[in-house]
Structures are given as C-alpha cells and as structure tokens.
Structure 1
Amino acid sequence: MDPEEARTEYLDLFNKIQALAPGDWTKVTPDKAGWVCDRPLGTEGTQVSFDTSRSPLSREEMDVLHDKVKALFEATGFNLRQEIDDGPNFARHTVVLGPDKFSMGFGTGKYGITLSGNTRCFADPEGKFR
C-alpha cells in the first residue's frame, strides 16, 4: 500500500465516524509528519496518525453511537475490541486493529469523545513522510 492509499483508507473510515456525531470536532492535521514503523523482513516504513475530539453527548446518545461505530469497524473485517467502564465517567472504547499496524480507536465518556489512530505502515524508502 502506498502513502496515499493508506491515508485514504484511514480517512474514509475516520470521516464516516465523525459524520455519525456531527458537531464541533477539533481540527485534524492530516499533513503532519509520521514516524518510523517496522515492516516485514526488517525494513522500515512510515505510519501517520490522525486524532480529533469533541464535546460529550448524553450517555444514551454515546451508547447508540458506539453501536454504529462498531458496525462500521466490523465492516472492515479487522479485529474489533470493546471495553466498557460502568463507573461515574461511563468511559467506553471501541477499537479496530488491522493489517500493517492499522489502528483506530473511538472513545466516549463524561468529558468528551475521541477518535484517533494510525494508518497502515507503508513503504517510505526516502523518509519523505517523516
């Protein structure tokens, strides 16, 4: 996968999730530099992260939102994990892990909503994206 394919794959899912909870999300900086990651056969690649957050919704709205996010994550065919904390902050996390170190996590709680993760580790022999 080349850098643009990795970026597009990640941001397509990222944007779909943001659209499920319209509102005042923090600005995403998609052109920031990535970092070194390990590729097969001992080679190095680059991985780019994207992060955003917004104010919380009601607990009921966030529970419905997690169900929708879970459905989108399941559609990727990647590994899915959910964690729920029934404590006073009602934190809940839904995470998807894919090939080549792809990851995306969606978290909600009393103080806000977060969406973050990393693109696949892609070949970057010239260090152009770090």
Structure 2
Amino acid sequence: MPELPWFAPHRPAPHAEVHAMASRFETRTLLGAFRFFARTPRIMWQIRTAPGAHGVTLRARLLRRTFWTLSVWESPEALHRFAGSDPHRSSARALKALMKGSDFVSWTTGADALPLDWSDALQRLDGNRT
C-alpha cells in the first residue's frame, strides 16, 4: 500500500530544535479507510503551505484499515495551528465516527536528524500504547 515520500515544505534553521509528531489511526471499516484516504491529498496540500511545517510523510495500509503519519514542526504551537485549521479540522471531525482508535506521540529532535526515520517513530508509538 502507499507510502508518501518525505516532503519538506520549509527547511528549519541548521541546528534548530524541532517538534516531531507521529500518529496511528485505525478505522472501523474498510469503507472508513477509503474515506480517510480520500481526504489525504487535501491535508497534504494544506501542509505544503502551513507555517512552521518542516516535513511530513504518511503510510497507508488500506486493507488493514491503518494509517500512520510522521511530521515535524517548528513548535507544538505550529502543529496546533495546522490541526485547528481547515481542511484538517473539518476532516478530523467528519472522520471521528469512523475511527476505531488513534495514538499520538510527540518529541523534540534536532533539525540535523531530518528526515525522520519510520522505525524510530513506530517504536515510539508502540511504547506509547503500554
């Protein structure tokens, strides 16, 4: 299934500390997974112009009804501004009833660590479940 390559809309300053966030979403049904995936292009386009966005990638396993995101922001506030604006905000509200579960984990890292590694992000998400 699809994995969108790392995209960096705005480069952080060298040696800057950045805010990373990984998420995992699972839908209740396969139809829900297709609805989730159908909204992905608009959200990815939004990130391209979001102030403070330093990188993003997505993994989608439609038949498993599971999606992972990995993004980097200049600050937690930049991430919250993005999440609270449309189309992300309206998409999250529309999809809420279709979701079986979700997990989130955030951490700080150096700009020199970009692009982030999926294996580290997945370990952090798995550690967050316990």
TM-score of Structure 1 vs Structure 2, range by shorter chain: 0.3 to 0.5
The structure whose Rg is larger is: 1
TM-score, normalised to structure 2, is: 0.39
Q: Which has a greater percent of helix?
A: 2
Higher RCO (CA 8 Å, separation ≥ 6 residues):
2
